[in-house]
Amino acid sequence: MKIALAQLNYHIGNFEYNTNKIIEHIALAKADGADLVVFAELAVCGYPPRDFLEFEEFISLCEDAANQIAAHCKGIACIIGLPVKNEAEAGKDLYNAAYFIEEGVVKAVVKKALLPNYDVFDEYRYFEPAVEFECIEFKGTKIALTICEDLWNINNNPLYISNPMDVLITQEPDVMINIAASPFSYQHDDERRAVLCDNARKYHLPLLYVNQVGAQTEIIFDGGSMVLDNQGNLLDEMPYFKEHLRSYMLTDGVIEGYTIAEHQLVSDIAQIHDALVLGIRDYFSKSGFSKAVLGLSGGIDSAIVCALACRALGAENVMAVLMPSKYSSDHSIQDALDLVENFGCKHEIIAIKEAADAFDSMLAHAFEGLSFNLTEENIQARSRGIVVMAMSNKFGYILLNTSNKSECAVGYGTLYGDMCGAIGVIGDVYKTQIYELAHYINKDGELIPENTIVKPPSAELRPGQKDSDSLPDYDTLDAILYQFIEMKKSSEAIIALGYEEALVRRIIKMVNSAEFKRYQTPPILRVSPKAFGMGRRMPIVGKYLA
């Protein structure tokens, strides 16, 4: 039996687009001689549909799309993921399910049992877990079909009390197929591969795994669909961050034509780069936008965002706005201009001195006798926010936010100023990683000006200002933030690693005090195991860890 895996980029709620894409790849797989073509989890509606699932019409449109797809399954079978109604009175109204379609008819419905409800996942909000499991028989082959998390209960600290494959294996299947919507983080590909290998070894079955690719607002799917033999050896791996269709011959429980393969070794920074480019591109294309605007300061953060945007959208669709203040240095302006020249994007220079001075004048009476402080610095940042939003309104540009994760973590940013935007491009990338990204972008030649990389970072909102005036050095800051945010360690545990107690407590207090700011920031493209946003939900007024 020849099985095709279709690793595709879906669009949530765009049924015409998703259906046509699936039908197109059914035809391509059939032309390649495939007997069965497999699509990803919730492929019909896109993942994660979230509260769209609460609309009856949405579920009906899923069923209508499945019927259209079924009509094209003649001479080839397919597996598609979609939500289906739970006809029982008790329990949630829906199942996260998969249809097995043969000769235009739905021959089997497989329902997901293990519903993740952690980090970015919220499936138990909508779906009822399956409790019955049956293999699918097709062309003399018995298939154990599971959906994403159903294979993830195999580690030493299981989240669930049951395991669908423990039931399915008693029915003596010949092969496992897993359809998934497994989000990207720069650590997740290794973890995912290990889990799948463990399953193939435990159940002594070959495993075909198909994942989605593409970005859905902040969540990015990296693809990396793969095939394993019954010893857990990797036989083949599809490209990351790209759509792909590939067929495999299964004969007597053996994937033919493949020997043990090497995993595609790609650095974390290269993965982050590719993920962010895809995240920007899909945010714009799926939202119906094409042109971006950002404030370009001459600093490394905005330089990275500009570079990524040019690669994602084309330089001709990127507007970089230079907004020097009276404290901006000449070299910062030149660094920004050098970047614009290197990438060929559009640019405008709009000084904010007049605007900031006007606000100072307006507020002079109210602030009489008070010295210059953070207030006046924030007025400058908010003046810049007004400028870039005016450009957005006037020309239809979508504003890219340029705050990095280190700044987001400790609140080193101005609400309604440099924290505004439609999408946070690097809000899940620590400052130390930003420098690595700059070197990666420059690996084939200098695109990010060297001076942008080597000069001390500064907001340039007062004379001689440097980030180091307000923050610890970024190597130390990021290391402590990683232990607190990603590793979820307490202050005592971080101090035990050798960090100064006063510094650790100061940083954690800054993180917790900035929660109200993060609630008001744009969605952030997720590239780490623990990103700000829906994957990290903290109370604003909580006392714990204060």
Q: Write out the catalytic residue numbers.
A: 41, 112, 148
296 annotated as a binding-site residue? yes
DSSP for 448-470, written as a single string: S-HHHHHSPP---SSTT--GGGT
Of the candidates 131, 150, 249, 272, which has an alpha carbon nearest to the alpha carbon of residue 203?
Answer: 150
Residue 499 has what DSSP assignment? -
DSSP structural state of residue 183: B
150/168 Cα distance (integer angstroms): 11
Pairing mode, if any, of strands 254-256 and 346-349? unpaired
Does 247 show up as a binding residue in the annotation?
no
Q: Is 267 annotated as a binding residue?
A: no
The CA-based dihedral angle spanning residues 465, 511, 50, 167, taken in that order and rounded to the nearest 10 degrees: 130
Classified as helix, coil or strand, 188 is helix
- Mind giving me the DSSP string for 217-264? TTEEEEB--EEE-TTS-EEEEPPBSS-EEEEEEEETTEEET-------
517 known member of a binding site: yes
Compute the distance between CA of residue 217 and CA of residue 287 in angstroms, rounded to an integer. Answer: 9
Q: Is 330 annotated as a binding residue?
A: no
Q: Is 203 marked as a binding-site residue? A: no
Sort strands 105-111 and 94-102 into parallel, antiparallel or unpaired.
antiparallel
Confirm or deny that 488 is annotated as ligand binding. Answer: no
Which residues, 6+ apart, have CB-to-CB distance to 359 below 8 Å?
379, 383
Q: Which residue type sits at 239? A: P
344 has binding-site annotation:
no
424 is in an annotated binding site: no
229 is in an annotated binding site: no
402 known member of a binding site = yes
Burial of 240: CB neighbours in 10 Å, binned 0-12, 13-18, 19+: buried
Q: Is 301 marked within a binding site?
A: yes
To the question of whether residue 414 is assigned a binding role by annotation, the answer is no
Nearest to 167 by CA among 108, 104, 114: 114
300 is in an annotated binding site: yes
Residues that constitute the known binding site for deamido-NAD(+): 378, 407, 517
Q: Which residues are annotated as a binding site for ATP?
A: 295-302, 402
Residues in the annotated binding site for L-glutamine: 118, 182
Which residues contribute to the annotated binding site? Answer: 118, 182, 295-302, 378, 402, 407, 517
